[in-house]
Amino acid sequence: MKLRIGKSDIIISLVAAFLLIAGIVTWSTFSTIYNSQFKKNLMFKQKSDRSLGYSAYMMSHPQSRNLMRFYFFNISNPDEIQYEGKAPQIVETGAFAVLESEQKKYMKWNDRKTEMFYENYKSYLISPEDSCDDCDWEQNLVFPNPTSLGATTSMLDPKYKITKTGKILISLGLLLLGEYPFVSHKVREVMFDGYEDALLSAAHSDLIYTISGILKGNESIIPIPIPAMPRFGYFQGYNNSKDESYWIKTGTDDINRLGEVQTWAGLRELPAEWWSTPFSRSIRGSDSGSFSQMRLKEDSTIDFFMSFMCRSFTKKYLGSTSVDSIPALSFSVPYEDYDTTSDLNRGFRYENIEKRNYFPDWPNCPPKGDCHQSSSINCTLPEYFCHACCNGSLVDGTYLLPPGMFPLVCYPGRLQPTPFAVLYSPPHYLYSPPEVFKTVVGLHPDPSKHLPMIYNHEPYSGSVLEVFNRLQVNMPVLKSDEVEMSMNMPDVVIPLFWQDTHTRLDDFLYNTVWTGVVLVPKLVTTLQFVAIGLGLLMILGLGFFRLRKWRATARPLQS
């Protein structure tokens, strides 16, 4: 007996076959198509009409809110420090909030479109509504005097070859100009406006220029470096200014090198005058950690270059999180990157030309035994600091700084060495041993508040969803027999301020990312299962009903 195949059977079979084929084809090709399209969207491209592609536009005009909060350390016992050599007592005040915005200009591509040029311009706007309730931008701060202390330190630097007579003259000049070790100025002046400084005013006066021109041509008669600024302020001259120029990878030839800095200020590596080893001079990864490779995992590492800190860093996995319902992986700069006692980071060591032991209780070594010299002992490595044949932190004729800090060697973001002795660290010396933060009264390191440079990445695309960037600026203060006002000072490093920057994307970008990396893959996966499952169900159902019909038709014939 033959079973007749009806139109409905044909339609159901065709629909089932279509669903199965669609589900299987989507299953096998979606990942490739999705990945290819994602790469195209991430690349920095310029259209045929010379307008920017979507990703390039978003990179050049960041759609984000970048809030910087500044916490200042107000010195409460300056006279005791200056005249009695006592430990600094500081009181944290803030947060004073500033909104930062940036724009990349003068963008251009190389012939192969594999690299892109730009200059990064930044501006800052005080945000009273984001500042603390009792934050007053007109209040005064007491802090170490950068110009006076910078001059005192420079006098001890052998490369300037300051004679004993020269030191006396500089010391006398500082005294006559009223350059005391500590000064008091308004927060607004200290930050952006700048304040009048007697040494800066004198050094940049017409009289000094005239005398220098007569006696030394274009060279200044002042034998130590003087900051190239008419007024002093931490961010004086930085508002509406630009970083040095960049050439970066567009991702066209390798999407996992998207944003990778090729040159900064025309350099492929940082100057040897800044850092002493090839590793420390290397420019690695993207500008400020804005981009990374795709498909991030827990064992991934992300290099990035931070021009405002004059060096490169490496982010490592910290934990899993979510940002606006988007699954993310947190990466942070670890303790190891701040440990200049390690052999890898020896190029980042503070030169300490003044040969001061700022942290005499570190390292905390037991009483020395007898020295039995061995060829395997290397006193420059931390594992041997407390060896009987070594002298603790005294290495190569000067004292190393403990882990958790490194020097600022350039004006932030500029190819110009700084004349100040300034040290960067995580806030409250988080990565340093107790012997460090106990030298100053008022520091309380807390990992939940002070962990530096946390980046939350969407793992598939590698895109940055949120950033917490924290750093502290510190200044060495030293005793100097040549400078009358510093004769009783202690050798100590005093924190000036710490900065907590929180960057979040605009809401529409979170919605876009969520749609692209969460909704679409889930929706397509669900449709794949639905299509394959429905196709199989229709085939099974059709077979079941056809079998029932065949049996029902066969019984009368058998009887």
Task: Please write down the HEC assignment for all residues of 382-414.
Answer: HHHCCCCCCCCCEECCEECCCCCCEECCECCCC
User: Which phi and psi (to 5°) does residue 204 adopt?
Assistant: -100, 15
Report yes or no on whether pTM surpasses 0.85.
Answer: yes
The region of weakest confidence among 124-128, 220-224, 349-353, 464-468 is: 220-224
Whole-number Å distance between alpha carbons of 505 and 235: 25
Spacing of C-alpha 249 from chain mean position: 19
CA trace torsion 532, 534, 538, 544 (10° rounding)? 100
Q: Provide the pLDDT for residue 463.
A: 94
Q: Provide the pLDDT for residue 31.
A: 74
Mean pLDDT of 508-518: 91
Average pLDDT of the chain to the nearest whole number: 87
The region of weakest confidence among 178-182, 512-516, 520-524 is: 520-524
Q: Provide the pLDDT for residue 328.
A: 97
- Whether 542 shows a pLDDT value over 60: the answer reads no
Q: 142-160: per-residue pLDDT in tens?
A: 999 988 888 888 778 777 7
- Whether 212 shows a pLDDT value over 60: the answer reads no
Q: 244-268: per-residue pLDDT in tens?
A: 999 999 999 999 999 999 999 999 9
Q: Provide the pLDDT for residue 443.
A: 95
Whole-number Å distance between alpha carbons of 61 and 43: 15
Mean pLDDT of 485-498: 92
| Spatial CA neighbour of 44 closest among 246, 232, 234 | 246
Strands, DSSP E only, in 265-381? 286-287, 301-306, 311-323, 326-332
- Whether 413 shows a pLDDT value over 60: the answer reads yes
Whole-number Å distance between alpha carbons of 467 and 332: 10
Q: 225-240: per-residue pLDDT in tens?
A: 677 777 888 888 888 8
Q: Provide the pLDDT for residue 170.
A: 77
DSSP code, position 484:
G
Q: Provide the pLDDT for residue 382.
A: 92
Q: Provide the pLDDT for residue 538.
A: 67
Q: Provide the pLDDT for residue 20.
A: 65
- Whether 414 shows a pLDDT value over 80: the answer reads yes
Please report which helix (H) or strand (E) contains residue 38, including its range. Answer: helix 7-42
- What token pair was written down for 82? 């200056």
Q: List, as one string, the DSSP characters of 207-263.
A: HHHHHHHHHHTTS-S-SS---S-SSB-TTTTTTTEEEEEEEEE-SSS-GGGTTBEEE
Mean pLDDT of 23-38: 73
- 377 confidence band (pLDDT: 50, 70, 90): confident
- Whether 557 shows a pLDDT value over 60: the answer reads no
The residue among 2 and 355 whose pLDDT is bigger is 355
| Spatial CA neighbour of 550 closest among 8, 5, 11 | 5
The residue among 221 and 314 whose pLDDT is bigger is 314
- Whether 373 shows a pLDDT value over 80: the answer reads no
Contact between 305 and 285 under an 8 Å Cβ cutoff? The reply is yes
Domain limits, the chain: 1-42, 54-145+180-195+231-359+401-514
Q: List, as one string, the DSSP characters of 45-105.
A: -B-TTSPBPHHHHHHHS--EEEEEEEEEEEES-HHHHHHH-PPPBEEEEEEEEEEEEEEEE
Whole-number Å distance between alpha carbons of 345 and 338: 8
- Whether 559 shows a pLDDT value over 60: the answer reads no
User: Which phi and psi (to 5°) does residue 320 adopt?
Assistant: -100, 145
Q: Provide the pLDDT for residue 551.
A: 65
The residue among 221 and 305 whose pLDDT is bigger is 305
- Whether 507 shows a pLDDT value over 70: the answer reads yes
